[in-house]
A and B are shown apart, each in its own frame.
Chain A
Amino acid sequence: MRSDRAPLWLRIAAGGGLLFLHLPILLIFVYAFTTEERTYQWPPPGLTLHWFGAAWNRPDIWAALGLSVKVASISTVIALVLGTLCAAAVSRSRFFGREVISLLVILPIALPGIITGISLRSAFSLAEIPFSFWTIVLGHATFCVVVVYNNAVARFRRVSGNLVEASMDLGANAFQTFRFVILPNIATALLAGGMLAFALSFDEVIVTTFTAGQQQTLPIWMLEELVRPRQRPVTNVVAMVVVIVTFLPILGAYYLTRGTDTVAGSGK
């Protein structure tokens, strides 16, 4: 007889593993409401909404958030363009150096972030480029390309070349074919890739510490608070908001690519 029920120990180990992955994140949600200011005391002595107001009125948080959103938006746009071009080239033909290109795209995320960071840092120092908004974007866009590429390349493989030929036969030029045939076919994959790229950039801290100089993105703001805690309750609130903000694009990307052969996100 074929048994389709997992043995008890396996169910416990798997369920326990999932709990291990999720409980710490849920704990943040409790701490955002604690009345305790100085320590990480558990259980919280009382609950309050006070810190949400306190966080709301902090100009430094808003400035960091603004910079993060700006960096993530521009990096996502650059990654969308470069990733789509690269995916189109790699999926439509075999050519000399094709493997090199796919390796090159994956490398920034395969090597530890600190390598990318210190590389860019030493390149900026050798070329005497001062830190600016654009040095952050340069780093972020580089490792965001792979996310868009992974999503786009999977979709391009499923878009049949016949569609393109049919469109050309019916008199559409290349731009019309792209606009009316290719784009609608790959749109959801690009949207999912773009959302993931945004989430990746919004959260990035390792490369950013090397390319930001004195500027503060939201993750750098958090890092400073972690290393030298000044106002713990406000940090708790920011942490909770960051969790919620990053979950939305992940869920969105999942629902956009559900049911296709490769689901978005598996290639972080």
Chain B
Amino acid sequence: MTAAGRISDILWRNPRLLLVLLITPPALWLGIIYLGALFALLAQSFFSIDEFSGLIRYEWTLKTYGDLLRPANFDIIRRTVVMAALVTVASAIIAFPIAYFAARYARGRWKAVFYLGIMLPLWSSYLVKVYSWKLILAKEGILSWAFETLHLTWLLEGYLAIPLVGGNSLSVSPTGTFIVFVYVWLPFMILPIQAALERVPASMVEAAGDLGATPAQTFRTVLLPLALPGVIAGSIFTFSLTLGDYIIPQIIGTSARFIGLAVYQYQGTAGNIPLAAAFAIVPIVIMGLYLWWAKRQGAFDAL
């Protein structure tokens, strides 16, 4: 009997051994590299930086977490969470009709069109998508041009003059940051809603109509509750992705910082890895709380 045959026999008689052989390489890779790195991050967040020498002091302390609560840093956290919440709500509103149409009405060729129509933007280059918005929102760009052609420049300028949302031009305003976030994460919201809606039988919507519900009532009392697990699943993506992004606010928007940007700057030029690590723990904690809440709402039972 050949060696290959003997090995085969051993594996066939010991499925456990085969399992161990299969699982060990990926488990080691993810366990050591990924979990190891996560623990390194956690450990770093309990160190602190010596304010005089700028060197990291390798002693356990909660001082770095205390720094997070300083007004300047706390502002960053609040701004990021508000932005993430707004982006999530807006994506859900824009995503719903697309998902509903794709799930209920698109058939045959249109099904493929919708599938690829959502998948291609999802997978196309993130930086290119952000870049295209820099072109669109620029002062001399296509959007200003459209407003001018329609003789609505006063409207755009009036909007940009509003504090908190406006700015010099759309590409340096918080509104710009918001639009780009919504655009970039939208497909992540469409897909789970579509998956949830595809499981709603069309007869249910018809039954509601037969029983005298108006379309608005049908939506509120039948469709929305059944689609809610999908919306929550999508919101997990949009919320988490906005919390961690540091490129969009850097390229489009005011210089106001977000959590991701703070992490990036503290670990880079400032060399304050402990504070960067502590900042990075914030999205993990927020997402943990969010997932716990979603679970309590029964979002996962229905999936």
**Interface of A toward B, CB cutoff 8 Å:** 2, 4-7, 10-11, 13-14, 17-18, 20-22, 24-25, 27-28, 31, 39-43, 78, 81-83, 85-86, 88-89, 92-93, 95, 101, 104-105, 107-108, 110-116, 118-123, 125-127, 138, 141-142, 145, 168, 173-177, 196, 199, 203, 205-206, 209-210, 219, 222-223, 226-227, 235, 239, 242-243, 246-247, 250-251, 254, 263, 265-266, 268
Interface of B is mostly: helix
CA distance A226 to B127 in the complex (A): 9
- Return the CB mask of B186-207 against A: 1 if under 8 Å, else 0: 1110110000000000000010
Which residues B157-210 have CB closer than 8 A to chain A?
A: 183, 186-188, 190-191, 206
Tell me if A175 and B8 are in contact (CB < 8 A). yes
Checking A114, A145, A239, A251 against B260 with a beta-carbon cut-off of 8 angstroms, the contacting residue is: A114
- Which of A14, A40, A114 is packed against the most chain B CB atoms within 10 Å? A114
Interface of A is mostly: helix
Known contacts A2-B206, A120-B37: does B128 contact A242 (CB below 8 Å)? yes
Shortest CB distance A38–B (Å): 10
CA distance A127 to B44 in the complex (A): 12
Tell me if A174 and B8 are in contact (CB < 8 A). yes
Name the CB-closest residue of B to A112: B244
B-side contacts of A41, CB under 8 Å:
140-141
Is the C-beta of B77 less than 8 angstroms from some C-beta in chain A?
no
Tell me if B98 and A111 are in contact (CB < 8 A). no
Name the CB-closest residue of B to A6: B105
Tell me if B34 and A107 are in contact (CB < 8 A). yes
CA distance A36 to B241 in the complex (A): 34
Tell me if B4 and A86 are in contact (CB < 8 A). no
The 3 A-B pairs at the shortest CB distance, nearest first, are namely A112-B244, A13-B97, A14-B101
CA distance A11 to B140 in the complex (A): 32
Known contacts A112-B260, A114-B246, A118-B263: does B37 contact A123 (CB below 8 Å)? yes
CA distance A88 to B105 in the complex (A): 37
Name the CB-closest residue of A to B137: A40
Which residues B115-155 have CB closer than 8 A to chain A?
A: 115-136, 138, 140-142, 144-145
16 A/B residue pairs, CB under 8 Å, sorted by A: A10-B101, A14-B98, A14-B100, A27-B142, A28-B128, A28-B131, A88-B22, A112-B244, A115-B283, A116-B34, A118-B267, A121-B267, A142-B34, A145-B29, A174-B7, A251-B116
